[in-house]
Amino acid sequence: MGHRANYVIVESGRVSIHHSQFGALSTAVHALLGPREFAGHAGGLDTRDTLTDDTWCEGAILADYDARLLLLHTDHGPARESLGFRRAYLAVLRERWPGWQVRWATRDQADLVDHLRVNPENVVGDRSPHRPALTAADVVAGLGVAYTVFNQPVTTEDYRRSVDLTDSPPDLGGPHAETVLTVRFPDGALRDFSCGRDIPVAAALDVGPGLLAALADQTGHPLPHELCAGEGVFVDARTRRIRAWPTPRRGDLEHPARRWPGWTVEWHDEGLPEQAAQSGRSPAPYRLTADHLLRLGNRLLGDAGDEAVLARIAAHA
């Protein structure tokens, strides 16, 4: 399919759409150019009359110089894969685009279409997730299993030991393999439960309040480092509030809410440290360190790494 990207400039009421055949691989790097340099880079690309549809488009930057808004997304690299890195990366972007609102387009092309107020037909496809239909028993059966290899379970304990927090992630399972469920039960007891990405957080929430009854007799697991966690949720039975992450990439936000009548269901992109903070614990032990951010920053920037940019990324640990 290639790695196509849409680069959109809005200035003086005029919208210009530019196309890059392989731009999605460098979208996050090009956004770091800042307002002036980015306009020059995007202006030198091929122009199109319409946005490339999201079947083919794997990244985009929209720079609205009138509204001073920067929207971006990419399917590639650490800014997509790691919410911890994305937090630091977006903080640096805001420094390089002073006075601008800088946002990750969590809904990909749909966010650009909404801002531009154009017809989404033939641009935004139906990419709703096809997640498994799970029962409470399915979730309980998956607790403590990070993934399977040749149909053999790898426990979360073994998986975490295989993730060297000072080096690269494991070959099997990859980083961010765990789904982490934090529950404050009606009696105030707080426990964390880990399972694998075969149990997406939205699928677990689809079980509804019966999930709490199923988890009430389970002993739980220690909270992992965010390098190990890819999805999570804090369910607070005392306040009847649910805060889950990451934000779904398509219009699937209300589906779990229908399973929890009388509850508030919210989504965010702050990851596991915020989940810890919501439950009354310090987020610091779970955050990526400056060393982690430097390694991921080097991966993002490659051989053309800018030492000043890397230093700013690491400063947001």
Domain ranges of the chain: 4-116, 136-286
H-run or E-run covering 238 = none
Per-residue pLDDT of the chain (317 residues; tens, 9 = 90+): 568 889 999 999 999 999 988 888 999 999 999 999 999 999 999 998 888 877 788 899 999 999 999 999 999 999 999 999 999 999 999 999 999 999 999 988 889 889 999 877 777 666 566 677 899 999 999 999 998 888 889 999 999 988 865 554 444 557 899 999 999 999 999 999 999 989 999 999 999 999 999 999 999 999 999 999 999 999 999 999 999 999 987 655 557 788 999 999 999 999 999 999 999 999 999 999 999 999 999 999 987 678 999 999 999 99
Of 297, 317, 195, 209, the residue nearest 260 (C-alpha):
209
Of 231, 221, 225, the residue nearest 286 (C-alpha):
225
Residue 246: phi and psi, rounded to 5, are -80, 165
Give CA–CA dist 80/134, Å, rounded. 27
Give CA–CA dist 250/110, Å, rounded. 8
Angle CA 233–289–249, to nearest 5: 35
Structure tokens at 231: 């999805």
Q: What is the pLDDT of residue 170?
A: 45
Read off the amino acid at residue 130.
H
Give CA–CA dist 191/216, Å, rounded. 9
- Its pTM stands at 0.91
CATH code for the structural domain at 4-116: 3.30.420
Length of the chain measured in residues: 317
Task: Please say whether the beta carbons of 80 and 25 come within 8 A.
Answer: no
Give CA–CA dist 115/276, Å, rounded. 33
Read off the amino acid at residue 56.
W
99 torsion bin: left (phi>0), alpha (psi -120 to 50), beta (else): left
Give CA–CA dist 91/10, Å, rounded. 23
Q: What is the pLDDT of residue 193?
A: 98
Task: Please say whether the beta carbons of 39 and 95 come within 8 A.
Answer: no
